[in-house]
Amino acid sequence: MSITSKEYGERIKELIRLAIDTSKPRKYVQSVELIVTFSGVDVKKQQEFRFRDTVFLPKGLGKNNKICMVLDDTQVQRATELGVYRAIGKSELSKIDKKTAKKIAQECDWVLVRADLMGLAGRVLGPALGPRGKAPIAIPPTASIESIVAQYRNATRLHSKEQPWVGCRIGTVKMSIEDLTENAIAVLHYIEEKIKRPLLQVARIYVKTTSSPALEL
């Protein structure tokens, strides 16, 4: 049975509800996380089980991602108007030191770079971004800044670190159960499509919040 079936959708919904209900109170808004563990899989040999992927969530994350964009100098103002956390022009990029690069890597969820500036961005920002699993993402020079920003505000990152499991945020406890469920199913469907086999045959699925235990589907 497909993970996207109505039956499993209802089970995922109840699991998310239970995870939120068992969360310990916190002064901040907690994330809701999805975890998938694989069994009988050799991640080093089976490349389809290695993840460094982006999934665009249909209902967003409940809060905007902090996006950094590296652009042509003429595009910086427009990116700033769109609410980009940090817009960096080519002229500024060449002057960024290691301390600033590290701060950008710590603060930004996504670093999006015009494809024709990737070489320079890789040299300047790459050493700080790489260890944090935030390698810069190339965007076409002619791409609409508006559409790119809208996409990545709702993006979540799947990163397995060569281990037989993968996890990601699917929203916050402030979101509706229905929206969180739709996000979870979108991520699970993405994983199933990538590994090209029924997810329920090779994996266990868990949901948790920042403070709740992981609950298995």
Q: Going by CATH, does the domain composed of 5-51+160-216 fall within 3.30.190.20?
A: yes
Tokens of 78: 């427009």
Q: Residue written as tokens 């990116």?
A: 79
State pTM to two decimals.
0.86
pLDDT of residue 5: 59
Nearest to 47 by CA among 160, 177, 167, 140: 160
Nearest to 71 by CA among 93, 83, 92, 88: 88
Tokens of 26: 């916190």
pLDDT of residue 72: 94
Using an 8 Å Cβ cutoff, are 143 and 168 in contact? no
pLDDT of residue 44: 80
What does the radius of gyration of the chain's CA atoms come to, in whole angstroms?
19
Contacts for 87 with CB less than 8 Å, ≥ 6 apart: 68, 69, 71, 75, 76, 77, 79, 80
Q: Annotate the chain with DSSP letters as a single string.
A: --TTSHHHHHHHHHHHHHHHHTPPP-SSPPEEEEEEEESS--TTT-GGG--EEEEE-TT--SS---EEEEE-GGGHHHHHHTT-SEEEEHHHHTT--HHHHHHHHHH-SEEEEEGGGHHHHHHHHHHHHGGGT---EEE-TTS-HHHHHHHHHTEEEEE-TTSSEEEEEEEETTS-HHHHHHHHHHHHHHHHHHHTS-HHHHEEEEEEESSSPPEE-
CB atoms within 10 A of CB 89: 18
pLDDT of residue 3: 61
Q: Where are the domains of the chain?
A: 5-51+160-216, 67-153
Give every residue of the chain whose pLDDT is below 70, as ranges.
Answer: 1-6
Tell me which architecture the domain covering 67-153 has in CATH.
3-Layer(aba) Sandwich (3.40)
